[in-house]
Amino acid sequence: MSSLRQRHTERTRDAIVAAAFELFASKGYAETTIDEIAERADIAPRTFFRYFPAKEAVLFHNSDGQVDEAVAKLRDRPTDETPYESLLAVLRSMAAEVAHGDTREIMLAKFAAENDRLFEHHRAVVMCNFEESITEVFKERAGDEFDGLAIDAAVAAVLATFGTAMRSWIRAGATDDFEPILERCVTAAQGAFQSVPAAAPR
């Protein structure tokens, strides 16, 4: 059972996110200030920064959970499947969910299309966390004998295509199906995992 402090933290975080998206919807992302979000959430502006380092972080508030979900799906893939096949299956699963996102995700896509800083945050924070988490899983599967640098490079290559597909989809209005865009991008990276073993030798 969560402690009183933890419940208070979760309520405050939820209040900030709710207030921010209400203001984003009514005023627009760029026109909304952190002071306005704090006032709507009934907190001091300095409290905002205890929960989020910047305004764009509010838009991506659920990214850690999405990364954790993707990692869990990857760990559930068959161990005799090649890493490329496993990662591609996870990315395709994520792609199928993207086009059916909730109102907040659609709003995020709209704002990102209008604000390059959001793309920068997505690339530098969200995708970096995703890449590190995915790489860790594959290194565990490959074992200590395999070249970790090769895994780093392979994961980076494939996830770069996913990021490219995502940004292309958003800039196009985030209204078309995402899967075909992803397929076009990952085709260019199909050879990235050819030398990576499925699992450590027995």
Instruction: Tell me the pLDDT tens digit for each residue of 24-75.
Output: 889 888 899 999 999 999 999 999 999 998 888 888 888 888 889 999 999 9
pLDDT tens column, 88-103: 899 988 888 776 656 6
What is the reported pLDDT for 51?
94
Per-residue b/e over 161-183, b at no fewer than 16 CB within 10 Å? bbbbbbbebbeeebeeebbebbe
Are residues 45 and 85 located together in one domain of the fold? no
List own/partner pairs for 38-47 with CB under 8 A and 24 or more apart: 41/12, 41/15, 41/16, 42/15, 43/12, 43/15, 43/16, 47/12
State the Cα–Cα distance between residues 146 and 193, nearest whole angstrom: 13
Question: Is 202 inside any structural domain?
Answer: no
Specify the pTM.
0.72
* 88 & 22 share domain: no
Enumerate the H helices of 83-187 as residue ranges.
83-98, 103-114, 116-121, 127-142, 148-171, 179-187
Residue 173 lies in a domain: yes
Which range, 4-8, 14-18, 157-161, has the best average confidence (pLDDT)? Answer: 14-18
pLDDT at 1: 45
Q: Decide if 166 contacts 176 (C-beta within 8 A).
A: no
Whether the pLDDT of residue 136 is over 80: the answer is yes
Q: Which domain holds residue 8?
A: 4-54
User: Is there a single domain that holds both residue 150 and residue 167?
Assistant: yes
Residue 186 phi, psi (nearest 5): -70, -20
Backbone angles phi, psi at 131, to 5 degrees: -60, -45
Q: Provide the domain count of the chain.
A: 2
In one letter, which amino acid is 147? D
* Domain shared by 69 and 45, yes or no: no
Give the CATH number of the domain where residue 44 resides: 1.10.10.60
For 143-169, how does the pLDDT look when each residue is reduced to its tens digit (9 = 90+)?
Answer: 877 888 989 988 888 888 888 888 888
64 & 120 share domain: yes
